[in-house]
Structure 1
Amino acid sequence: MAQNSPDRPRKPRVLGRGSYAEALRIGEILRKETVGGALLVATALIALIWANSPASESYFALRDFKIGYEPWHLNLSLGAWAADGLLAVFFFLVGLELKREFVAGDLRDARKAAVPVAAAVGGVVVPAVIYAVVNWGSPDTIRGWAIPTATDIAFAVAVLAVIGSHLPTALRIFLLTLAVVDDLIAIAIIALFYTSDIHVAPLLLTLIPLAIYTVLAQKYRRFFGLKPAAAWLILLPIGIVAWALLHASGIHATVAGVLLGFAIPVLRGKTSGGTTAGPGLSEIFEHRFRPVSAGFAVPVFAFFSAGVEIGGFEGLTASLSDTVAIGIIAGLVLGKPIGIVATTWLMSKFTRAELDPSLRWIDLVGISLLAGIGFTVSLLVAELSFGLGTVANDHGKVAILIASLLAALLATVVLRARNRHYRRIEAEEKIDADHDGIPDVYQREPDAS
């Protein structure tokens, strides 16, 4: 009996193709993140060069310049404003994207969501364990166990855009989903393990604007009769109040970004006939705020966080001999691919799933190497672990930069070869024999994954 005969149910697939609508949406997101990744790399290089130039004092003076209102706990340095404030915009989009995936995307199917979510967990646990083993017995350095757990989506996507223009959409969707879930786990780690003193009063007060924000986001038409594009004018000030109160409570304020993103509805609701009326505020806000995040928020954060005084060859040697740096590099470059590939393989065995016939395991290895680019969130966790300006934080930054570069180079070696392979078969992917605007490959036997 043939494997795909009607009498035998088709095996679920790992990294299936997904829907054409999802492929188009992911493609649009990746194009925007590619621009953001290029800006991120550029601003990080500028900061690194400036911090090691004769004018280095001016860079650190700019980073440490304070501005704000002290009674509201907002008298912060520019570097802190970038980490606490601008990154909240980035995590707001993480919240939007994650909710979109699980409510209206391909991952609303639990069978499809299981593999990338499990892979993301594996890609967090294994690097953390590696770092902890390297720094075991040192209370001062083991605090950085979460540094190598994150994937920088903008940086990774920028590299993927350069080296993998012909790679299957399934791999791009897998990387994006992996990075989004990864970021959600990272923000949960920040909230649970990197919050020292919690002030109860502002924490409880945070619930008030957050509740108002959620209700207005869900029922904005009933209360104001506003068009979706105009709702942000009312929701933004309320969101800023919630952010400020959460910041004053002692919990890292980027958590507010995820919570506010989760509160935004993905769908507009139902028509009189009971069918979905179409995209809601989530899509509107994603289009409005992603350019702000990719083009300004994340690059500015990278500028203020990536600047570290290396101190020449001797300083570089001292940094790389520190167990902090060893743990970070080993976690990102080795731990990430081991965790992601091993977890995906185990999921395929336990669920009796099979890799999509159009892909090979070496493709997953290349993507998992790319996930070893930590950068943005890793820099944030390093600052939270050791404090801005400390020796351990400086060594950690050097390690994050080197590990991200190594991960990008190793992924390039693997994925460039695979890209040449997929370029030869790309013509088939574009065939639209029935001229309905959807490539025929998306209209074949449904993916059971």
Structure 2
Amino acid sequence: MSDSTHTPEACDLLIEAGYVVPVEPHAVVLEDHAVAVDGGRIVAVLPRGEARARFAPRQSVSRPQAALIPGLVNAHTHNPMTLLRGIADDLPLMTWLREHIWPVEAAVIGPEFVADGTTLGIAEMLRGGTTCANENYFFADVQAAVYKQHGFRARVGSVIIDFPSAWAKSDDEYFARAGELHDQWRGDPLIGTAFAPHAPYTVSDANFERVRMLSDQLEVPVHLHTHETAQEISDSLKLHGQRPLARLERLGLVNDRLIAVHMTQLTEGEIQLCAERGVHVVHCPESNLKLASGFCPACALVRAGVNLAIGTDGCASNNDLDMFSESRTAAILAKAVAQDATALDAATTLRAATLGGARALGFGEEVGSIEPGKQADLACVDLSALETQPLHHVLSQLVYAAGRHQVSDVWIAGQPKLVQRELVGMDEAAIVANARQWRDRIRSSRA
């Protein structure tokens, strides 16, 4: 059959880019390529000329100066805390938590605070090329509804903690709420759930055992801050006679459903255990640096075969949701910690910020790379600005030079969320005005 009789295939969207960075296969950059999307999924990745001949898209987007990357996955967030950005800085973790964050939360936390903070977080993440978040905060039901409303992909964790909060008054109530959340969102294409026991120092053995039993039964992840500070380790040795990871191992939680966040205090044996058990580690370098919590041995983890993801942590301790900045810090810090300039190279870092995060969240079959069959969660990064010129190496430029302000377009499941820097379906001025009224409310609560 000759080309003259060829009928082009219909598709919803064709995105042409100067560079397509699929992440899988590793370290590949495809020049002058296009990604065809239909029904929210990627149907083909192919050279631009071939794409134009093969497809008749309902919409075309051409970004010849841009790199098209998988949407970034922020693998550890507390997004309602965007409303606490900058409220208590330059303090160590326990002082920051006990004397500042927890008292403010006690005064203002509720469904409205959580909904408004999550909305601000979604807008900030979209403007920075992030399309998926691993969420860990109170009122998980409200967060899930807000993420769904804005078509944003999220794994929403139900907090389990050994003291009463505005969310739940007792152990049984925390677990009941977690069960309700799971039942409500089971099978949703955008929203997944997790158990989020806060940390080894705020959760009892009995509650960890309940989490393990339910995680096994429901096959949902466990999202946990652990090995965050040296004090956490010494306190655990005094209280339990074991380091936190050994205690979690005794309780049956060290497995491929564990999303272990921070992990700044690790022995070689603990790194090996994580590799053997398929534990996912989320590296939050900027929060760890700012709180002087320690250094995650990211390079050693990757070289041992541990799946590494990257997260920003919450805006109260970072103070932003900027995955470009976070990835750059992760790469540079890894080199200093390993005393090896080859540690966590640009391609490996971008992989941690995309596919590594997706796999940690249990979404690796759906997102995290630009491959046919996967959901079209994509971000376009304009590399034409003088700050990213001349362009010798696309992956290096993305990790070491590009900034979130260069993200031009974002799609989630093929739906446009950011078009040439403009948010779609979100009122930026109203979000800013709302954040300001929360500042005033928080200020008056502290007076």
TM-score (norm 2): 0.24
As a proportion of its length, which structure holds more helix?
1
As a proportion of its length, which structure holds more strand?
2
Bigger RCO (CA 8 Å, 6+ sep):
1
